Amino acid sequence: MHDLLIKNASLPDGQRGIDILIRNGNISAIGPAIYADGIPQIDAAGDLVCSPFVDAHFHMDAVLSYGLPRVNESGTLLEGIALWGELKPLLTKEALISRALKYCEWAISQGLLAIRSHVDICDPRLLAVEALLEVRDRMKEFIDIQLVAFPQDGLLRSSGAHAQLIRALDMGVDVIGGIPHFERTMSAGAQSVQVLCRLAAERGLMVDMHCDESDDPMSRHIESLCEQTIHYGLQGKVAGSHLTSMHSMDNYYVSKLLPLMKESGVAAIANPLINITLQGRHDSYPKRRGMTRVPELLEYQIPVAFGHDCVMDPWYSLGSGDMLEVASMGLHVAQLTSQKGMRACFEAVTTAPAEIMGLSQFGLRPGCEGSLVMLDAGDPVEALRLKPVRRYVIRRGRVIAKTEVPRTRLMLGEDASNISRRFND
């Protein structure tokens, strides 16, 4: 384990001139003027130090497969699903591992040290499950990977999916997933939610379902998910991902839905880059953008995280693993431009997803894991504006990525004479 002292850091809560002492890989003290002899030190020089970036919704089995076997020309969710179906028979374990490892390198360089990845279990070979379990093990010293057993083709719609999901859990997959809106009927979707929540209760596992990823305001599986969460006592262990139908629901129904979500403890995971790309494809103008009602969810104190979802795969041709890009898009689409709103967007890619995923070891307090990111920015709002380089990425007190940057960033309120002195230095 590693020791490290970070001096003169700015923290996300606005504290400045703070030192962070890491002993044996864990944070042992945070405060001004901490002294510790004989251990490595890093001068933050006023830069922002935060807990690691966390991606609560991703598909690592599909990452970096863009163009295989062809490109999604329509840009729709359904063509992406069809494309993935064409690609699955061509997958090899070696290719899955290679692409996932490459993405892990990208993620680490960006300070992204925890990912919840859905893995398709509808291939009877379970190649993707085998591959990502191996990647999880190989990368555990650098990045936490939480796997979700995801029946991409529908738990009830796809022959053998239920048995394959059980096999995936027995192999070591962490979380139970689902996709009720992709079942053949609304009633089948509700049934799938009930089956999966009962299984989660029996096994003591968390649940994260693709839920209502649709422009259809009548896609209301989120209410079934909330009801089954309460029924099986899963409060605080369930997340609904996407929830894009909420964008199209009438306000009266949402006024009933939000209290139900609050009561059930179901968290919301929006995926700003993908939601605004895939949704509204059947609209002319006005054109819906699809992202769920993030401001209203936050107002109800419902936990909200942002996920990257896709990087260069059948659904999305772009992406780099930069969670600040995700947060920035979420900020713009949700019009969360107040100081409080912008800070909530920063939290949606750091502390909020860590809490939803049960990563209690992540945080800026004594006893937490000494895993931190130092950004070339002074505060969360500036980080969202600039999407700056990560000066240091630290895992349990060990520097695992580093970028040298010229100290020329203009701090808020800094005058030109200070800037000239920096250039002269």
Catalytic residues: 213
- CA distances (Å), 8 to each of 4, 11, 134, 142, in order? 13, 10, 39, 25
CB 296 within 8 A of CB 258: yes
Distance CA 98, CA 178 (A): 26
The residues, any chain, with a CB within 8 Å of residue 296's CB and separated by 6 or more, are 254, 258
Residue 98: both structure tokens together = 């290679």
Q: Are the C-beta atoms of 54 and 353 separated by less than 8 Å? A: yes
Q: Diameter of the chain by CA atoms?
A: 70
Do residues 316 and 274 touch, judged by C-beta distance below 8 A?
yes
Give the span between the Cα atoms of 302 and 295, in whole angstroms: 10
> Which H or E element spans position 278?
helix 272-278
- Which residue's structure tokens are 């054109």? 287
- Adjacent-strand bridge partners of 117: 58, 147
Question: Could you tell me the end-to-end alpha-carbon distance of the chain, in angstroms, rounded to an integer?
Answer: 36
Packing angle of the helix pair 251-264, 221-231 (nearest 10 deg): 20
Please give the C-alpha separations between residue 170 and each of 35, 154, 210, in angstroms, as whole numbers: 48, 20, 22
**Phi, psi angle pair for 297, to nearest 5°:** -65, -45
| CA pair distance 301, 8, nearest whole angstrom | 33
CA 142/CA 388 separation, integer angstroms: 21
Q: State how far the alpha carbon of 386 is from the alpha carbons of 108, 362, 389, 408, 420, in Å.
A: 19, 24, 9, 13, 21
